Amino acid sequence: MSRTVFVNGEFVAEENAKISVFDRGFLFADSVYEVSSVLQGKLIDNKGHIKRLHRSLNELKMSAPATDDEIVRVQKDLIERNGIHEGLVYLQVSRGSADRDFPFPAADTKPGWVMFTQAKQLIESPHAQNGINVISLPDIRWKRRDIKTVGLLAQVLAKQAAKEAGAVDAWMVEDGYVTEGSSNNAFIVDKEGKLITRHLGNEILPGITRASVLELVEKENIVFEERSFTIDEAKFASEAFITSASTFVWPVVEIDGTQIGDGKPGPVAPKLRELYIRNSLARAE
């Protein structure tokens, strides 16, 4: 049975979904997105994702396609129609469709919006259990990575390079410092047990999972610092891990072929993963 997807106000079978060739998301990547995870049929950390959607829209002077209540209603409707127990809801908003021209189209151009679900095992995951290996590579993205746009070609190339190197992901490096993972935020734990993750700024996406995990870190009285770190510092760390809506927390056990700590996950990353899942389920919508 095919999925039901949502396209510009209508629920349709995925094979019948149509987008204009003049949609500015398609032509210019003039489009922003959010991915929320679903556990037990409920949306995880969705308030944060909706809030960040507005931030991305505002930064690009784009309008929202509907009220927050309407957006969440469609998310929930899709979860139900597609029987998603565990997985993801993808939401994309574009500046709309208009004859191809670089400046913004007429002010009354309606934003485009699209949503679909993906069933995915998030809790039971070999990568969560065993940790992942990553490679480092130069961060070749534009200078407004804090805006969650669909301009993801640099990340496509990074993930492909990782795959070809036999790695699960790539950590991107700029001016000698790790910015973030190709689709996640990067953390290390130093030999004294201090957790370190890059400070927010235009250089990285303000991860919703990152923010929730840092709240838990504070609650657990784990010492942490938001600052840049190098690949060499990460290789010397006792632990490393990533956070994102689609992974929650995954340990990183190898960077560029160098084993991190004893090469096994833990103890901090698995504990934060468990706390994150438990806490966010309690707040799920």
User: Contact at 8 Å (CB) between 57 and 93?
Assistant: yes
Round to whole Å and give the CA distance between 231 and 160: 20
Among 38, 167, 205, 275, binds ligand PMP (CB under 6 A): 205
Longest dimension (CA), the chain: 58
Among 78, 115, 195, 208, binds ligand PMP (CB under 6 A): 208
Q: Which of 115, 156, 161 is nearest to 134 (CA)?
A: 161
Binding of ligand PMP by 207 (CB under 6 A):
yes
Catalytic residue, chosen from 42, 61, 148, 271, is 148
Round to whole Å and give the CA distance between 37 and 241: 19
Q: Which stretch binds ligand PMP (CB under 6 A): 2-10, 78-86, 183-191, 229-237?
A: 183-191
Binding of ligand PMP by 188 (CB under 6 A):
no
**Nearer to ligand PMP (CB atom), residue 4 or residue 209:** 209
Is 194 designated active site? no
Binding of ligand PMP by 210 (CB under 6 A):
yes
The two three-digit tokens of residue 135, written as one number:
């490679």
**Nearer to ligand PMP (CB atom), residue 82 or residue 184:** 184
Q: Looking at the DSSP assignment, which residues form a beta bridge with residue 89? A: 36, 117
**Nearer to ligand PMP (CB atom), residue 35 or residue 157:** 35
Q: CB atoms < 10 A from the CB of 212, how many? A: 22
Q: How many residues sit close enough to ligand PMP to count as binding (CB under 6 A)?
A: 13
Residues 100-139 binding ligand PMP (CB under 6 A) are: none
Binding of ligand PMP by 203 (CB under 6 A):
no
The two three-digit tokens of residue 187, written as one number:
């953390």
Give me the helix-helix angle, 68-81 and 46-59, nearest 10°. 130
In the chain, alpha helices (H): 24-28, 46-59, 68-81, 126-130, 153-164, 208-219, 231-236, 268-282
Q: Which stretch binds ligand PMP (CB under 6 A): 2-10, 14-22, 95-103, 206-214?
A: 206-214
Residues 229-258 binding ligand PMP (CB under 6 A) are: 243-245
Binding of ligand PMP by 151 (CB under 6 A):
no
Give least dist CB 89 to ligand PMP, A.
12
Q: Looking at the DSSP assignment, which residues form a beta bridge with residue 169? A: 134
Round to whole Å and give the CA distance between 148 and 146: 6
Q: Catalytic residues, which ones?
A: 148
Q: Which residues of the shown chain bind ligand PMP in the complex (CB under 6 A)?
A: 35, 180, 183-185, 205, 207-210, 243-245
